[in-house]
């Protein structure tokens, strides 16, 4: 049986190596970070000593693989040249940071086509990705989206198409709350099996590198993205259990972006995932 790899999105406040300490506190053994505030373009800098400390602490505590989540401002699908240029520059800085930190993945949303159309937006994304210099040992992950408005990535076909539009070997991160919002019914073991089969047919399970594991506060197909505690949202206990166990079976790590509310935090959700895996 494959090893369960589950962790949380942790903070680099006070130094990037602090994310490792926070992950240990939660009981996680992999996870996700921002390298800077996701609401601004300014990346700041990571000192060599901090990068070394992050690598050493991760290895000492057997935490990995890590994933960097790109800025929320990045829009690869945009037809606007200034936004595209900023997005490419931001992504390049994330890739370079991943190389320095020994992080194998940089995760990004495709963004919104804002009138360019689905095909046009996905073509824009492919062109933007082709401008990036991806370091050896680092892979770009395209995250599945909830699909609201003109945002792309809600359908697995979008993921497959952007892969065909770029020279880079992309891999993918499926967010369970996003997939649910986009219309993939993963509330039952049968639905989970069908969703994995569809992903395999359209994209390829060998390209699934990470999962964002989140329950949802909204019904399937509403395109509403609001996360809930594992097993306590609309996806529910049976769906989350089936998804966890299939994900572990595929050898794919999971990062939580669950809320901190109702007296429950990342530590509670990580323990819930471990319980679901054991059952």
Please say whether the beta carbons of 154 and 88 come within 8 A.
no
Q: With beta carbons less than 8 A apart as the criterion, state whether 77 and 165 touch.
A: no
What CATH number is associated with residue 151?
A: 3.20.20.150
In eight-state DSSP terms, residue 154 is: S
Tokens 């594992």 -> residue: 230
The answer to the question of residue 93 being in a domain is: yes
The answer to whether 189 and 236 have CB atoms below 8 angstroms apart is no
Predicted TM-score (pTM) of this structure: 0.97
Listing DSSP states for 264-279 in one string gives B-HHHHHHHHHHHHH-
**51: in domain:** no
Is residue 176, in this structure, part of any structural domain at all? yes
Is the Cβ–Cβ distance between 20 and 36 less than 8 Å? no
Whether the per-residue pLDDT at 260 is higher than 80: the answer is yes
Inside any domain, residue 58: no
pLDDT band at 20, cuts 50/70/90?
very high
Question: Does residue 46 sit within a domain?
Answer: no
Of the CA atoms within 13 Å of residue 122, those in its CB half-sphere come to 17
Summarised one tens digit per residue, pLDDT across range 213-258 is 999 999 999 999 999 999 999 999 999 999 999 999 999 999 999 9
Q: With beta carbons less than 8 A apart as the criterion, state whether 233 and 191 touch.
A: no
Q: Is 56 a domain residue?
A: no
Collapsed DSSP state (helix, strand, coil) of residue 80: coil
How high is the pLDDT of residue 91?
98
Domain of 112, in residue numbers: 70-278
Assess if residue 258 is contained within a domain.
yes
Condensed to tens digits (0 to 9), the pLDDT of residues 170-197 reads: 999 999 999 999 999 999 999 999 999 9
Q: Flag whether 269 is in a domain.
A: yes
Q: How many domains does the chain have?
A: 1
Q: What percent of the chain has pLDDT over 70?
A: 99
Residue found under tokens 């994310």:
19
Structure tokens, 205: 């399970």
Tokens matching residue 235: 């996806």
């Amino acid at each position: 049986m494959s090893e369960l790899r589950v962790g949380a999105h942790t903070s680099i406040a006070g130094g990037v190596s602090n994310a490792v300490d926070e992950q240990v506190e939660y009981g996680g053994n992999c996870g996700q970070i921002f390298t800077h505030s996701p609401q601004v373009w300014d990346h700041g800098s990571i000192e060599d000593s901090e990068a070394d400390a992050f690598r050493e602490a991760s290895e000492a505590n057997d935490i990995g693989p890590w994933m960097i989540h790109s800025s929320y401002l990045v829009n690869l699908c945009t037809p606007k040249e200034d936004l595209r240029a900023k997005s490419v520059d931001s992504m390049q800085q994330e890739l370079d940071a991943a190389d320095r930190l020994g992080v194998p993945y940089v995760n990004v949303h495709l963004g919104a086509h804002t009138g360019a159309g689905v095909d046009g937006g996905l073509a824009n994304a492919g062109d933007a990705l082709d401008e990036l210099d991806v370091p050896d040992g680092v892979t770009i992950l395209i995250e599945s989206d909830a699909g609201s408005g003109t945002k792309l990535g809600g359908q697995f076909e979008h993921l497959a198409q952007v892969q065909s539009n770029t020279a880079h070997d992309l891999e993918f991160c499926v967010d369970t709350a996003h997939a649910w919002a986009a219309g993939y019914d993963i509330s039952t073991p049968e639905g989970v099996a069908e969703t994995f089969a569809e992903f395999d047919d359209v994209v390829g399970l060998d390209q699934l590198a990470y999962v964002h594991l989140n329950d949802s506060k909204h019904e399937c197909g509403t395109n509403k993205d609001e996360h809930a505690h594992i097993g306590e949202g609309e996806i529910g206990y049976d769906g989350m259990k089936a998804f966890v166990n299939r994900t572990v079976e595929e050898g794919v790590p999971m990062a939580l972006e669950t809320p901190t509310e109702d007296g429950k935090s990342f530590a509670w959700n990580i323990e819930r995932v471990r319980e679901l895996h054991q059952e």
